Amino acid sequence: MFVRTERLTLRRFTSADAEPFAAYRSDPAVARFQSWDPPLPLDAARETVERFAEGDPEAPGWFQYAVDLDGVLIGDLGLKLHENLMQADLGYTLAARYQGRGYASEAVRGLLEHLFVERELHRVSAEADARNLASARLLERIGFTHEGLRLSNTWFKGEWTDDLLFGLLRDDYLARRLSRPPPTPAPSA
Ligand SMILES: CC(C)(COP(=O)(O)OP(=O)(O)OC[C@H]1O[C@@H](n2cnc3c(N)ncnc32)[C@H](O)[C@@H]1OP(=O)(O)O)[C@@H](O)C(=O)NCCC(=O)NCCS
């Protein structure tokens, strides 16, 4: 377990996650602005979660955090640590039935607390397709700065698309954190 929030646990993937992972990644609405094309067959999901399970969260490259609600996999957070180990790019996916309840915000806030306070990262960046309003709302709600818009920058699923750019600096995160109480950790089981 890496992070515990009020309702969620961020933990390493296990082979038991393959079925729910395949289910939510096969949802066309969930995949709409993501790099993969649905459906995700169960065999491919098994291979993917096994690769995730072996990842090193403190090594450069992508690491995938499983978002767990009472033992159920409801989504994942992807973090690409740069070679300098001080910067990272963030991605997130929530199964459709768990959206609209604040779980993504809670998971990302928990991960940011871990990254900025415990691991002392300097900066976290995120990009979203400009049409992905739920993603932009999530980043703004959490306190990311909207840093720009790259017009027609990405060839994505058959068309040129606009990218919204967001960033959050450790200094800004810590300054805001001082003005509010820290997240309440859930009682340990
Ligand atoms: C991006 C994504 C993770 C956002 O999920 P989300 O459920 O909208 O975000 P949150 O979990 O923070 O929930 C916030 C919403 O829940 C509502 N909500 C309900 N109960 C809540 C609670 N207890 N606490 C906080 N928010 C609550 C909020 O009002 C908000 O709704 P709004 O955006 O309509 O105002 C989700 O849309 C997703 O997985 N999309 C597909 C994958 C994807 O595109 N990823 C991003 C690639 S860049």
128, 23 Cβ separation under 8 angstroms? no
Q: What is the pLDDT of residue 178?
A: 83
Kindly state the helix (H) or strand (E) to which residue 166 belongs, with its residue range.
strand 159-169
Q: Pick the residue with more confidence: 183 or 135?
A: 135
- Whether 104 is in the pocket of ligand 1, judged by its Cβ within 6 Å, is yes
The mean predicted confidence, pLDDT, of the chain is 96
* 39 vs 181: which has the higher pLDDT: 39
d(CA 101, CA 60): 32
176 Cα–ligand 1 center, Å: 22
Which letter does DSSP use for residue 43 in this model?
H
Backbone angles phi, psi at 127, to 5 degrees: -125, 150
Is the distance from the beta carbon of residue 5 to the nearest atom of ligand 1 less than 6 Å?
no
Nearest atom in ligand 1 to 141's CA: 12
At 180, the pLDDT band (50, 70, 90 cuts) reads: confident
CA atoms of 117 and 121, how far apart (whole Å): 8
Q: Could you report the per-residue pLDDT of 145-175, keeping only the tens digit for each?
A: 999 999 999 999 999 999 999 999 999 999 9
- Could you read off the pLDDT of 45-56 as tens digits, one per residue? 999 999 999 999
Q: H/E element holding 29? A: helix 28-31
CA distances to 132, 135, 155, 172 from 163, rounded to whole Å, are 10, 12, 11, 23
d(CA 157, CA 34): 9
Ligand 1 test: best mutation among 105, 129, 153, most atoms within 8 Å of CB? 105
Q: Which atom of ligand 1 is nearest to the CA of 100?
A: 16
CA distance 179 to 177: 5
Question: What atom of ligand 1 comes closest to residue 105's alpha carbon?
Answer: 12
Please determine, for residue 189, whether its predicted confidence score (pLDDT) is greater than 60. no
Cα 106 to middle of ligand 1, angstroms: 10
Q: What is the pLDDT of residues 61-112, one digit of tens each?
A: 999 999 999 999 999 999 999 999 999 999 999 999 999 999 999 999 999 9
Domains of the chain: 3-178 (3.40.630.30)
pLDDT at 2: 95
pLDDT over 90 at 183, yes or no: no
How many angstroms from the chain centroid is the CA of residue 14? Answer: 17
Global confidence as pTM: 0.94
What pLDDT score was predicted for residue 56? 98
What's the pLDDT at 152? 98
Whether residue 135 has its Cβ less than 6 Å from ligand 1: yes
**10 Å Cβ neighbour count for 48?**
19
Residue 103 backbone class (left: φ over 0; alpha: ψ -120 to 50; beta: rest) = alpha
Whole-angstrom distance, CA of residue 132 vs CA of residue 156: 13
Ligand 1 midpoint to CA 110 (Å): 15
Token digits for 102? 């604040």
User: What is the distance between the alpha carbons of residues 19 and 43, in angstroms, rounded to a whole number?
Assistant: 9
